[in-house]
């Protein structure tokens, strides 16, 4: 979907919806739910959570790039297509065999972020943006969970239970994954034009705080972003060079800007993930409800 010139494409983390994307997390958390202090972004678990969600955001925006520049067809809601293809790229990077635990942990971090967003929306009784171009957070987390489980149902039963995939949906997940994989292979085979690479570059604008400098180092060392970029660089010939820019831009966002041939990732998006990571550590969702949900799911899988 090409945005009007006065709009920026909201990030996959609008994956949280338009209403949410216009507000910083701290502005719309109820006082009872606001963590007393920011999460320690030097904590390895927090770092993994932030990096996993940022990586997924970048891969999501790369799908918008493929739609606009390579001609991937859109036969539905573009944001759903970007979600699903981003998930499939991550699920098929290792091809045969069980999913590596690192990939499972990355996907779980994204699922948890969406679950936290939905929990906040429910607890704050926010207006649900049914007209938003993105699916609801609760739908997005179940779609990701289902495709991941469907990739390796023999080894990911505990993953399905932990993420409360209803049994009637779980039964369909292997078929959903197979169809999605077939669709991804079709797109790759149809639009592939082998290339020598170096069409997509990463640029880090000047950081303004020690925290942003730390983010920059993490992203520089990120194997996921660079491996996906290298894959797309080899497989497709873009009409013009493309730049992924990480910068300070005063908002919590990431977006594909067709006119500039840029994917812009704001450091504020990573700040937002810091808040979500703290919420995940301190609150997650109501423990009793979570325990009951897992119990129901486990019972259904017996």
Question: Among 133, 158, 191, which residue's Cα sits nearest to residue 17?
Answer: 133
pLDDT at res. 210: 92
pLDDT at res. 96: 76
List, in sequence order, the alpha helices (H) in the chain.
18-21, 25-28, 44-65, 78-91, 101-123, 137-151, 157-162, 167-170, 173-191, 210-220, 223-235, 267-282, 287-301
Taking residue 108's Cβ as centre, other Cβ atoms within 10 Å add up to: 19
- 89-101 pLDDT, tens per residue? 999 987 678 899 9
pTM: 0.83
pLDDT at res. 246: 96
Mean predicted lDDT score pLDDT of the chain: 82
Q: Identify the bridge partners of residue 244 per DSSP, sorted by sequence position.
A: 202, 263
Stretches in the chain below the pLDDT threshold 70: 1-42, 95, 283-302
pLDDT at res. 124: 86
């Amino acid at each position: 979907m090409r945005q009007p010139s006065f709009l920026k494409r909201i990030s996959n983390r609008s994956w949280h919806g338009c209403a949410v994307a216009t507000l910083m997390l701290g502005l719309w958390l109820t006082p009872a739910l606001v963590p007393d202090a920011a999460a320690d972004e030097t904590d390895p678990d927090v770092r993994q959570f932030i990096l996993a969600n940022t990586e997924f955001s970048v891969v999501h925006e790369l799908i918008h790039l493929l739609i606009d520049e390579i001609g991937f067809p859109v036969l539905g809601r573009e944001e759903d297509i970007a979600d699903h293809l981003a998930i499939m790229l991550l699920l098929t990077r290792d091809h045969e065999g069980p999913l590596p635990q690192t990939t499972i942990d990355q996907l779980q971090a994204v699922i948890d972020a969406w679950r936290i967003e939905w929990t906040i929306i429910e607890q704050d009784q926010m207006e649900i943006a049914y007209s938003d171009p993105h699916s609801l957070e609760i739908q997005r987390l179940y779609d990701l969970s289902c495709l991941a489980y469907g990739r390796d149902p023999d080894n990911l039963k505990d993953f399905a239970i932990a993420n409360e995939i209803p049994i009637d949906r779980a039964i369909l997940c292997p078929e959903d994954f197979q169809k999605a994989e077939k669709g991804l292979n079709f797109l790759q085979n149809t639009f592939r034009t082998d290339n020598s690479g170096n069409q997509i570059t990463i640029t880090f604008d000047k950081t303004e705080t020690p925290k942003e400098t730390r983010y920059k180092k993490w992203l520089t060392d990120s194997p996921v972003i660079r491996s996906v970029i290298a894959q797309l660089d080899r497989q497709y010939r873009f009409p013009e060079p493309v730049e992924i820019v990480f910068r300070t831009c005063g908002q919590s966002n990431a977006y594909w800007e067709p006119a500039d041939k840029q994917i812009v990732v704001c450091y504020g998006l990573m700040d937002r993930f810091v808040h979500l990571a703290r919420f995940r550590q301190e609150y997650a969702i109501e423990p009793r409800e979570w325990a009951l949900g897992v119990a129901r799911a486990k019972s259904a899988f017996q």
